[in-house]
Amino acid sequence: MTASGGPGRYTNADVELFDLDQLTHTSDQRSVGELLVDVDRQARLLLIDVTEDDAAQLLHAWPTLVSRAVDLWQALPHTPGHPAQTATSIDRVAQISHRISQRLRTSPWPPATAPDPRLSNMANTLDQAASLVRRFADRTPLSDAAREDLHAARARIMHSLYVATHAVTVSLLQHGRIRYHQAATSRRPLATPANQTPYAVAPTTAWVRRMSAAEAAAASFAPHGRLPALLNGEQRTPPADAGRLVRALAHWEVQAHRGLVCPDWLDNMVLITRTQALITGTAMVLVTAAAAGGILDLSPRLGPALERSGAAWNDLGSRWDDLTPANVRPSPQLLVAASEIRAATRNLTHDGAPMATPHTIATRPGFHEDLQAVLHALEHADELAHAVAEKGTTPGLTGRARALSIRAHNDIEAGRVAALEGDVVWVSPTDILAKHMVAAPPPVTEGLRASGEAVVQAATVAGAVASPAQSALANAQWDQSSAPVPTRKQAEQHTLSTGCTDRSEPGRQHR
């Protein structure tokens, strides 16, 4: 039977009805939209579970994924005039993918290997979606609803590419980190570049650079080109840039003070206090590593002072959290500064998600400068502590009814604030049930003021103890190249007690 065989029985357009290659032979009944949701889901799972061992396979699979995404993008009906369908981002990713694909054929690393099955599965799903679109897409003018659906499909394609590309970058950096540490313990350690990530070690350097470019291109699909500067900064700045933490701390100090004087200062309090807690905690980790590495003579007062300061900032943060609505909107500049602090400190103190060993931390490029910067920040933390403590005296503070009730009762029970005679109901059960924001009762405001004073006291003591350490470091003219590198055993023997638990933190049981 042919289209023209029967006298007028089939038109030419019906030929493909009998062409086995044109038919979508699958028991999969999912629509294009459902397939795209599946790709999105797979990308997220990949990012959650990615490890350093996946780097080579992911790199080999990534160009195919991009190729399939481009195929689908081009198969979708063209509707000009909407920012979501701009071809610039996908074209840029496709160009980078093409170069990576060529390079993979000639580069000694990564070795030839089977492509990652997860990315391949995503590519197949995209291919299936493209096949459906080519076969069944309606080429007639689209309705408004269909046009919206089309924009959603394009957005989901780029979003999935972005997440998957980020996963490849994460894997490459983890791979580089492992190589770096393995080499560090051998007789031929890798050279530590001054202003570059030590984890993008050869031969992964170029791949990290290319994938970062692809990631940035994929991320730029967002309408109006809006991309949160915080995440971009985290991904593009070399992780072990020696000056990163120094710059981040300087920027943070300015933004934290600005955050306290702006009209919406209340929304910034939790972020300010908890970021200070992180800085203090990081100082503890760095001091421990420095002591283990013989870089710093650990004063017996320094560890406890830092512990008290960190616990005090944390306690104050949890108290301001009670006074903040759940939909808190901190200042965007403060968010960027806090994100950068977190990213910079993690690069120094963490190995991927878990903590790095003191030995690893002490031998990182720029450790000396970062330690000095953190100690310097602690020296001046009392200024911020005073400003934060003053905010605790602001009249008319309100907070979440349930949280304030728990706080008031726990503070009285713990003897932190004076108790009145009899059992006082500080917050009406009606307000608790209705989840209202209510005026802070006296025990809460009293506890807040006391916590603020405790922060000032602890920060002042920590600053005073950190000051000589910082001076000693500055005078030591420590030369990283000639400094004795501590053995792993030495490093593990020198550990500060970090088992401090904030005893003042109230229980969360509702009274």
196 burial level (CB within 10 Å; 0-12, 13-18, 19+):
middle
Q: How far is the CB of 13 from another protein (least distance, A)?
A: 32
Q: How far is the CB of 479 from another protein (least distance, A)?
A: 28
Tokens describing residue 137: 């897409």
CA distances from 478 to 68, 108, 320, 422, 482 (A): 53, 39, 41, 62, 8
For CA atoms 222, 225, 231, 235, the dihedral sign is positive
- Comparing CB distances to another protein, the nearer of 338 and 456 is 338
- Using left for φ > 0, alpha for ψ between -120 and 50, and beta otherwise, residue 201 falls in beta
Q: How far is the CB of 143 from another protein (least distance, A)?
A: 16
Q: How far is the CB of 265 from another protein (least distance, A)?
A: 15
- Comparing CB distances to another protein, the nearer of 41 and 257 is 41
DSSP label of 444: H
- Comparing CB distances to another protein, the nearer of 263 and 422 is 263
- Comparing CB distances to another protein, the nearer of 188 and 224 is 224
Q: How far is the CB of 430 from another protein (least distance, A)?
A: 15
497 burial level (CB within 10 Å; 0-12, 13-18, 19+):
exposed
- Comparing CB distances to another protein, the nearer of 278 and 387 is 278
**Helix, strand, coil percentages, rounded to 5, for the chain:** 65, 0, 35
Q: How far is the CB of 124 from another protein (least distance, A)?
A: 20
- Comparing CB distances to another protein, the nearer of 186 and 501 is 501
Q: What angle do CA 221, 226, 232 make, to 5 degrees?
A: 85
CA 90 – CA 155 distance, rounded (Å):
11
CA 167 – CA 183 distance, rounded (Å):
24
How many residues in total does the chain contain?
A: 511
- Comparing CB distances to another protein, the nearer of 9 and 329 is 329
Q: By C-alpha distance, which of 228, 503, 506, 184 is closest to 357?
A: 184
Q: How far is the CB of 189 from another protein (least distance, A)?
A: 26
Tokens describing residue 243: 């000056």
Which string of DSSP letters, residue by residue, matches 278-343?
HHHHHHHHHHHHHHHTTSSPPPTTHHHHHHHHHHHHHHHHHHHHHTS-TT----HHHHHHHHHHHH
- Comparing CB distances to another protein, the nearer of 131 and 345 is 345
Q: How far is the CB of 390 from another protein (least distance, A)?
A: 22
Contact 28, 128 (CB under 8 A): yes
Q: By C-alpha distance, which of 354, 310, 283 is closest to 505?
A: 310
Q: How far is the CB of 361 from another protein (least distance, A)?
A: 11
- Comparing CB distances to another protein, the nearer of 409 and 478 is 409
Tokens describing residue 456: 């000032």
Q: How far is the CB of 325 from another protein (least distance, A)?
A: 7
- Comparing CB distances to another protein, the nearer of 20 and 353 is 353
- Comparing CB distances to another protein, the nearer of 99 and 251 is 251
Q: How far is the CB of 136 from another protein (least distance, A)?
A: 21
Spatial neighbors of 462 by CB under 8 A, at least 6 apart, are: 280, 305, 306, 308, 309, 378, 381
Radius of gyration of the chain (CA): 29
